[in-house]
Amino acid sequence: MPTTDYIERVVNLHIHTVHSDGSGTVPEIAEAASEAGVEVLIVTDHNVYRPEEEGWYGEVLVLVGEELNDPVHPHRNHLLVLGAEDDLATHAATLQEAIAAAKRAGALPFIAHPIEHSGARANEPEINWEDRDVTGLHGVELWNYMSEFKSYIHTVLHGLLYAYLPSLAIRGPYPETLRLWDAMLTDGPCWAVAGSDAHASLYRLGPLRRRILSYRYLFSAVNTHLLLTEGWSGDVRRDRVSVYEALAAGRAFVGYDLAAPTRGARFVGERGEKGCTFGGTLSGGKEARLSVDLPAPASIRLLRNGVPVAEATGSRLDYAAGEPGVYRVEARRRFRGRSVGWVFGNPIIVT
């Protein structure tokens, strides 16, 4: 379809509810999404799957996924499984088996928070992707807000400051996670998503008791924006298919909407009569034209196979791609006194 005809939906995925270690019920979380302008939620409780909670909550479509982890060794290899129609917790003991079970169920397995750092006073374990030699992943959680947040809690003072003003801490995906993603892309399509990892937990630090990173706050921050081929039908089954079809195709970008709204960010490739967007492939002999359009000025970089090939300051970048490769775009903006990650788009593959 023409690249201008897609319908953009703001999605927040990787969310915990009262059914695992989150503090909100699904109706409460949907209300927070509605206030923040998020249109689709995918809740992902730990080894818990409650499909009966899927549905429309006002204007918000709530879908139910699952975050799988080995119940015996819970602090490694977390896997987001999106789009399964079954509880896959019985396959959670090994990462490869969890991925295989997700694929058999027609679902999309994404490795969650692949690289973690925990500040000395965060009192949180580092949950890394340890079993790297697995196959069959659909993609990677490039940016996890909660995971990044805890990396900055080095002292009690940081804890106090960021409990009240979390946006002072957040900067973007770790450079090593971006390098990991680029390396994964050399083996074939690997689609990025962002997760809030929302729990809205009660945070205790000495006398301080504060519910930090509320659902409402996180839904206004980092989201995954999907480009759908059709508008809502109102039918949960059909609209669910439409969301997962875009996620399967990688027709998505990650946006830090708190730094400035990212709705409308586009990355388009054209070669002769053919056109595509995030997640697309352009084949054929002629030179491919790539263009980036952003809803506000930023520092834009276009990378080919992980190496920058073009930069621009502003809201547009055009590039003639004479060589095949995996082309992806990233943009940064000034926010709260520093340069922060703003838009990270899934690649266009030029063959």
Interface ranges with Zn ion (CB under 5 A): 67, 78, 112, 197
Provide the minimum distance between the beta carbon of 193 and Zn ion in the complex, in angstroms, as a whole number: 13
User: Which C-beta is closer to Zn ion: that of 53 or that of 67?
Assistant: 67
- Nearest one of 78, 85, 127 to 107, comparing CA atoms: 85
Q: Long-range contacts of range 332-340, CB-CB < 8 Å, 24 or more positions apart?
A: 332/172, 332/298, 332/299, 333/259, 333/260, 333/296, 333/297, 333/298, 333/299, 335/167, 335/256, 335/258, 335/259, 335/260, 336/167, 336/168, 338/171, 339/171, 339/299, 340/170, 340/171, 340/172, 340/256, 340/259
Provide the minimum distance between the beta carbon of 98 and Zn ion in the complex, in angstroms, as a whole number: 13
Q: What does the DSSP assignment read for 103-126?
A: HHTT-EEEE-S-S----TTS----
User: Which C-beta is closer to Zn ion: that of 126 or that of 270?
Assistant: 126
Provide the minimum distance between the beta carbon of 14 and Zn ion in the complex, in angstroms, as a whole number: 6
Bridge partners of 205? 208
Provide the minimum distance between the beta carbon of 176 and Zn ion in the complex, in angstroms, as a whole number: 18
Half-sphere exposure of 63 (CA within 13 A, CB side): 29
Rounded distance, CA 266 to CA 189, Å?
A: 19
User: Which C-beta is closer to Zn ion: that of 177 or that of 242?
Assistant: 177
Bridge partners of 13? 42, 195
User: Which C-beta is closer to Zn ion: that of 48 or that of 241?
Assistant: 48
User: Which C-beta is closer to Zn ion: that of 53 or that of 197?
Assistant: 197
Provide the minimum distance between the beta carbon of 31 and Zn ion in the complex, in angstroms, as a whole number: 21
331 and 339 Cβ atoms separated by less than 8 Å: no
User: Which C-beta is closer to Zn ion: that of 48 or that of 160?
Assistant: 48
User: Which C-beta is closer to Zn ion: that of 43 or that of 310?
Assistant: 43
Provide the minimum distance between the beta carbon of 16 and Zn ion in the complex, in angstroms, as a whole number: 6
Minimal CB distance residue for Zn ion: 78
Rounded distance, CA 95 to CA 132, Å?
A: 9
- DSSP-derived pairing of the beta strands 108-111 and 139-144: parallel
- DSSP-derived pairing of the beta strands 139-144 and 191-198: parallel
Half-sphere exposure of 324 (CA within 13 A, CB side): 7
Q: Say which DSSP state 75 is in.
A: S
Provide the minimum distance between the beta carbon of 291 and Zn ion in the complex, in angstroms, as a whole number: 35
Which residue type sits at 102?
A
User: Which C-beta is closer to Zn ion: that of 54 or that of 197?
Assistant: 197
Bridge partners of 350? 282, 325
